[in-house]
Amino acid sequence: QSVPGKTSTSTHDAGQQTCRLFIGVATLKSNVTLTSSVTTSIAVNGMDLVKHKGGCHCEAVRFEVWSSPDLHVFHCNCSICTKKQNHHFIVPKNHFTLLQGLDNLTTYSFNTHVAQHTFCKTCGVQSFYTPRSNPDGYGIAPHCLDPGTVRSVTVEKFCGEKWEESMQAHKTIRDMS
């Protein structure tokens, strides 16, 4: 399925959020701090953002994140993303708030130690992490979002096996945080 005139690289199951359309890329770039617990949607630089909430399986870790309702998700094939089947979308740090569970998080890092693979100590689910590509942002697992706020998901393959080469060639990933 795809929208006429648009290209879809693949489909992606994001948990219970099953109604999907495929749209173009949206880039998040803002100096706005998003802290209101009352607001559920805003516009930043002409782009609509919604407050998504989510967390791990046991719900010890909960977060909220401001992002487009139309998610641009990366499917990376680096060694750890392949083992974890890590699909993620990237947001700036000021669009993310950890609501609970700081003491329930543990972190794994390797190689350059830039990426911080954070996961719940109880259930083992990684609902977000600090990606090597965007250390000033977060990679959010779309399948860890609560149902009801995602309108569509576009999945883009990223060649993490050749990380340095892929980062130089990529036109948008650095601007996402």
Other beta carbons within 10 Å of 76: 24
Q: Considering the domain boundaries, does residue 132 fall inside one?
A: yes
Output the pLDDT for position 141: 95
Q: Considering the domain boundaries, does residue 80 fall inside one?
A: yes
Residue-number span of the structural domain to which 142 is assigned: 42-176
Q: Considering the domain boundaries, does residue 166 fall inside one?
A: yes
Output the pLDDT for position 143: 95
Q: C-alpha 130: how far from its chain's center?
A: 10
Q: Considering the domain boundaries, does residue 154 fall inside one?
A: yes
Output the pLDDT for position 93: 93
Answer for the pair 137, 6: CB distance below 8 angstroms, yes or no: no
Across the strands, what pairs with 42?
49
Q: Considering the domain boundaries, does residue 62 fall inside one?
A: yes
Q: Considering the domain boundaries, does residue 34 fall inside one?
A: no
Q: Considering the domain boundaries, does residue 88 fall inside one?
A: yes
Q: Considering the domain boundaries, does residue 70 fall inside one?
A: yes
Output the pLDDT for position 58: 98
d(CA 128, CA 93): 11
* Domain total of the chain: 1
d(CA 44, CA 14): 25
Along the 177 residues of the chain, how does pLDDT read in single tens digits? 333 333 333 333 333 332 222 223 333 333 333 444 445 655 555 568 999 999 999 999 999 999 999 998 888 787 777 788 888 899 999 999 999 999 999 998 888 887 788 999 999 999 999 888 788 899 999 999 999 999 999 988 765 655 566 666 666 665 654
Q: What is the CATH number of the domain that holds 153?
A: 2.170.150.70
